[in-house]
Amino acid sequence: MCERLLQENPSDVEVFKMVVNVKMRRGRSREAVENVEKLIELQPSEMEWGLLQALCYEMMGDLNEAKSLFKNILNQKPLLLRALHGLAMVMHKNKEGAAVFEMLDRALEVACRENKVNEERNIKILVAQMHLIEVTICGILGIVYSLLDKKKEADESFETYQSLVPQEFPERGFMDDVLAARTETKQQLQKDLQR
């Protein structure tokens, strides 16, 4: 049905938006990006289409293209939160670690220098979200390494987790319980084997 609408209205932006939305929801990013590129042809100055194009490439796994597109958008609008978030996620998926935070710190400096209070607040929230992702992954890796009986790697991941998570962090108790259970379970297993 969508394709028929496109054939009948080849320059109708609303129809293209609907088609892109349907294709993305169905996981057909490759097809969606073709329609996004047509939207860009119809409205080249519309920032939304560039963001959508970058998102499509990210969903297709072409992280380098997505990164390039997000950077192009940020060259035009350095404090556009959706582009900062998209670039941060792509960099995270590329395992660029510290570079993610350096990029966000530079954006935060621009926001502070230009006295953009809302952008500054939003970037700080984004930095916190990225730290949370980082911390969560360290904790999860520690659990996985423990299950695989890779003590050294598990200890390193848990140590990183504990160094990053503040004492008052709500999920810290859960991870502390996991660490305690790991030790207690191993000791109990050894006792059972000695009997």
User: What CA–CA distance (Å, rounded) separates 146 from 152?
Assistant: 9
| Residue given tokens 């810290």 in the structure block | 172
pTM given for the model:
0.69
User: What CA–CA distance (Å, rounded) separates 106 from 43?
Assistant: 30
| Residue given tokens 């959706």 in the structure block | 82
* Confidence (pLDDT) at 169: 54
Number of neighbouring beta carbons within 10 Å of residue 123:
25
Q: Exposure string (b/e) for 37-57, b if CB count within 10 Å is 16 or more? A: ebbbeeeeeeeebbbbbbbbb
Domain annotation covers residue 22: yes
Domain annotation covers residue 147: no
- The count of domains in the chain is 1
Domain annotation covers residue 15: yes
User: What CA–CA distance (Å, rounded) separates 101 from 86?
Assistant: 13
pLDDT tens series, the chain, 195 aa: 667 777 777 777 888 888 888 888 888 888 888 888 988 998 998 999 999 999 999 989 999 999 999 999 999 999 999 999 999 999 988 988 889 999 999 999 999 999 999 999 999 988 888 877 776 665 666 666 666 677 777 777 666 666 655 555 555 555 566 556 655 555 554 565 565
User: What CA–CA distance (Å, rounded) separates 80 from 71?
Assistant: 11
| Residue given tokens 């609008």 in the structure block | 77
Domain annotation covers residue 86: no
Q: Is residue 12 left, alpha or beta, with left meaning phi > 0 and alpha meaning psi from -120 to 50?
A: beta
- Parent domain of 1: 1-61
Domain annotation covers residue 23: yes
* Confidence (pLDDT) at 149: 72
Domain annotation covers residue 49: yes
Domain annotation covers residue 51: yes
Angle, alpha carbons 122-128-132 (nearest 5°): 145
* Confidence (pLDDT) at 89: 92
Domain annotation covers residue 195: no
The CATH code of the domain that includes 31 is: 1.25.40.10
| Residue given tokens 């582009």 in the structure block | 83
Angle, alpha carbons 76-105-91 (nearest 5°): 70
